[in-house]
Amino acid sequence: MTISSSLNAGVAGLATNASRLATIADNIANSATYGYKRAVADFSSLVIESGQGTYSAGGVRVTTQRLIDQPGALAPTSNSTDLAVRGRGFLPVTTESSLLNSSSEFPLFLATTGSFRTDADGFLRTSSGVTLMGWPADPDGTIPTFPRDTGDGLVPVQINVNQFTSEPTTRIALGVNLPATETEFGASGDDLELSVEYFDNLGTSQSIAISFTPTIPAAAGASNEWTMILTDSASGGAVIGDYTVTFDDTRGSGGTISSVTTNVGGAYDPITGDLQVSVAGGPIDLNIGAVNSGLGLTQLSDSFAPTSISKDGSPVGNLISVEVDANGFVRASFDIGITRTIYQIPLIDLPNPNGLIAEDNQIYRTSNESGSFFLWDAADGPTGDVVGYALEESATDVAGELTQLIQTQRAYSSNAKVIQTVALSFAFAIFLPVAI
């Protein structure tokens, strides 16, 4: 019994050290694989109850696992969509095969890094077919509310490299100086014209024509009053605003707006200086300056000159680049200088990352041991952030693996020696009585 148990223990030692040798070989082979997580072999002894004065070897058994929660160093790259998670959390990904079938179901896998580039259809995927997933943004760049305890809202990230975009104008700040001499008795009373460009909902250039007509007093003096009429080119020249603007001529406030009377259009707010006019594509907030602020419209001296005209909105622009920020927002930049959010990449967190099931290409799937997952905004809650232009290097320490390789080789040889010794003992026990 004792000799037999010794043989079994030696065989078990060979098998367990072979498993450890396999993990070391895998780790060394993947020492340059981005996102690779070390595999380790842990030994535990087996105890067999022994009688008095005897001992039976129970041997050893091995359990292997992958240390998925052990991060590798981040290596900088030149590709904006090379992504790595810095800290806790996983990127949501799916497989290339799920894109090839026409189903809308995309199995959810997890990854800590990936060199994602657009394929022929614009999907961001790695050379091995791992495809990045995220929540799609609405046309205005906002992210709708999606469930956080399931991956049902996630879709493969698809970048249309021929994408166009524009932004309609919703706000204009108007700064113009009107000549004070034009409201004096005997002035010509001619209209002063100004055209302000804006962009409609389709990115087409339109204009608001603004006419300033001075009020000429019937007797000596100055009225300091102007009629401002606004017309919209997209509405066939229809009047969208008619306002009477009176300027202050007192010391300390001279030339600033004193009051504004609304004849047609949205009411004037004397505190903010805003009024709202409706063009063909919708409302536009027009700021002409608050009362007595000296900003926006002024009436000074004898010159008519726009001092500052600013607006939001843009014409149609072409997509030139895509980047992912630290919060996981995929932002598309266009050649007209605007940036728009098109996706959000959440980070997946779960109680036991080491309980995940490893798949090919450094991706993982959930299991009962990993626990239920939750989708967090990157850099929120327990999760880290997303780093672009970076890849996570292998977690393998080659020097440490070589040290373990030497230890394993010696342990393997020692167990082989045990088996050899036990075999000789069997032979001695069997043949020695015959010889005697």
In this structure, what are the phi and psi dihedrals at residue 79, rounded to the nearest 5 degrees? Answer: -105, 125
The domain of 34 spans: 2-67+395-435
Residue 252 lies in a domain: yes
Do 208 and 290 have their domain in common?
Answer: yes
Do 20 and 102 have their domain in common?
Answer: no
So what's the pLDDT on residue 336? 80
Residue 46 lies in a domain: yes
Do 281 and 415 have their domain in common?
Answer: no
CA–CA dist 389, 83 (Å, integer):
6
Q: How far is CA 365 from CA 299, 337, 338, 395, in A?
A: 70, 40, 38, 19
Helix axes 2-29, 398-435, angle to 10 degrees: 160
Query: Could you tell me if residue 353 is left (phi over 0), alpha (psi between -120 and 50 degrees) or otherwise beta?
Result: alpha
Residue 159 lies in a domain: no
In this structure, what are the phi and psi dihedrals at residue 203, rounded to the nearest 5 degrees? Answer: 80, 10
Q: Which residues sit opposite 178 in a β-bridge? A: 299
Do 142 and 214 have their domain in common?
Answer: no
Residue 278 lies in a domain: yes
Residue 184 lies in a domain: yes
CA–CA dist 343, 327 (Å, integer):
11
So what's the pLDDT on residue 2? 64
- Tens digit of pLDDT per residue, the chain (436 long)? 566 667 777 677 778 888 888 999 999 999 999 999 999 988 887 777 766 767 777 678 888 899 999 999 999 999 999 999 999 999 999 998 888 776 678 999 999 999 999 998 899 999 999 999 999 999 888 999 999 999 989 999 999 866 677 789 999 999 999 999 999 998 999 999 999 999 998 888 999 999 999 999 988 889 999 999 999 999 999 999 999 999 999 998 999 999 999 999 999 999 999 999 999 999 999 999 999 999 999 999 889 999 999 999 888 888 888 999 999 999 998 888 888 899 999 999 999 999 999 999 999 999 999 999 999 999 998 999 999 999 999 999 999 989 988 888 887 787 777 777 766 766 666 665 554 4
- Provide the domain count of the chain: 3
Q: How far is CA 58 from CA 9, 17, 19, 55, 151, in A?
A: 6, 16, 18, 9, 47
Residue 319 lies in a domain: no
Do 295 and 228 have their domain in common?
Answer: yes
Q: How do 124-125 and 117-118 pair as beta strands?
A: antiparallel
So what's the pLDDT on residue 433? 56
So what's the pLDDT on residue 393? 96
Q: Write the DSSP string, 262-275.
A: EEESSPP-TTT-EE
Where would I find the H helices in 79-155? 96-100
Do 123 and 87 have their domain in common?
Answer: yes
Do 244 and 276 have their domain in common?
Answer: yes
Q: How far is CA 426 from CA 161, 199, 415, in A?
A: 75, 96, 17
Do 292 and 185 have their domain in common?
Answer: yes
Q: Find, among 286, 331, 270, the residue nearest to 80 by Cα.
A: 331
Q: What angle do CA 158, 163, 166 make, to 5 degrees?
A: 125
**DSSP at 354:** G
